[in-house]
Structure 1
Amino acid sequence: MKKYKESSLISFGFEKNNDEFIFKKSIESLDLILIARLDREENISVTVLDSLTNEEFRLHLSPKAKGEYIQSLRNEIYKLEDSIKNSCAISDLFLLQWQKIIEYINQKYGAPIECMWKERFNSDEGIFRREDNKKWFAALLICNRKTLTGKGVGKMEVLNVKVDPEKIDSIVDKVHFFPSYHMNKKNWLSIVLNEGCPLETIFAFIDESYRLNGLANN
């Protein structure tokens, strides 16, 4: 089952309408408009409007309908659905990691996630800080794949942690670990959460980050 993050949907071009998200795409070569809807149960449906009459077009729904025009329309619908899933959906693996990280930090360090940007960006991104000195020691963030890796499309979910600056070059592998997104790359690291990095490894980095941010004058 796929889940969708609101911030990714908005970035893609969806507009929120009550309990639905709606995205419209004009297919000028076919004189049609595709309207994608994501309902509150997170089901995607695509309807088609005739751009000239503004009436719903349904011929492609019939299994008997054939021809180049109908096939082109079906291909456009498939491409749109795939693009939405690739750009906005997060996998069950990531959801599990996201939840486990929040639970681990809260239980071990008593630090709840602070969703600092929710009002501005409709995002569940957030940071964790030490209680004693109020310093951040971890941050859950969403970034553009190309911004982090230099290539590709869609979103990536990352955990930023502090590391020993002398160790960063040996840790970065451009698969699971990257120079930090949106933070000082000299002593922060981005761990990609949906690329199979073991939770035990992620927890070890969290512990080290917490320790480093508790050192005097650090």
Structure 2
Amino acid sequence: MLTREDIFKHIKENYGTLPDYPWGKFPEYAALRHESSEKWYGLIMNVLPEKLGLDGNEEIDVLNLKCPPEISDSIRNGKKILPGYHMDKEHWISLVLERTDPKGEIYNLIEQSFNLTK
């Protein structure tokens, strides 16, 4: 299982960015932004599973990433990769971190999102 701390370490090492916490009402929501434009390439949120149509009562971490529509439809599986929560569902996906493996898959999707949002 990949954690938000693993992702923060990865983005710092590979993109030179640190998480940003823009919402006082949601202090755990971490935006991943380009330094130059401040555009998001990712967003980590802790949400209740029911918000995503999943079972469970405890908050889970999800990572929203931008993804081309021609790819997002084929990788969404309804359990670990879902339509983007609180985002354009055609162009964004949500990854349930506790259910997603291996690291390489997520890191490749982060890189894709980083490049799509430049």
Q: Deviations over 1:169-211 (max 9, x none)?
A: 1010012100011111110000110114211111000000001
Q: Are 1:188 and 2:92 an aligned pair? A: yes
Cα offset for 1:150?
A: 4.8
RMSD of Structure 2 on Structure 1 (CA): 1.5
Is contact 1:176–1:197 with CA below 8 Å preserved after alignment? no
Cα offset for 1:168?
A: 1.4
Indicate the residue corresponding to 1:205 in structure 2.
Answer: 109
Indicate the residue corresponding to 1:60 in structure 2.
Answer: none
Q: Deviations over 1:22-70 (max 9, x none)?
A: xxxxxxxxxxxxxxxxxxxxxxxxxxxxxxxxxxxxxxxxxxxxxxxxx
Report which structure shows greater RCO (CA 8 Å, sep ≥6). 2
Secondary structure of the equivalent of 1:128?
strand
Is contact 1:138–1:206 with CA below 8 Å preserved after alignment? yes
Cα offset for 1:104?
A: 0.6
Q: TM-score, normalised by structure 2?
A: 0.90
Q: TM-score, normalised by structure 1?
A: 0.51
Percent identical pairs in the alignment equals 30
Indicate the residue corresponding to 1:161 in structure 2.
Answer: 65
Indicate the residue corresponding to 1:113 in structure 2.
Answer: 19
Residue correspondences, number: 118
Instruction: Describe the shift of the 1:211–1:125 C-alpha distance in structure 2 as closer, same or farther (beyond 3 A).
Output: same
Indicate the residue corresponding to 2:8 in structure 1.
Answer: 102
Q: Are 1:145 and 2:78 an aligned pair? A: no
Q: Could you list the runs of 4 or more consecutive aligned residues of structure 1 that deviate by over 4 angstroms after TM superposition? A: none
Indicate the residue corresponding to 1:173 in structure 2.
Answer: 77
Larger Rg: 1
Structure 2 CA distance for aligned equivalents of residues 189 and 125 of structure 1: 16
Instruction: Describe the shift of the 1:120–1:147 C-alpha distance in structure 2 as closer, same or farther (beyond 3 A).
Output: closer
Segments of structure 2 that go 5 or more residues without pairing to the other structure are none
- Aligned pairs for 1:1-218 within 5 A: 93=1, 97-117=3-23, 119-121=24-26, 123-214=27-118
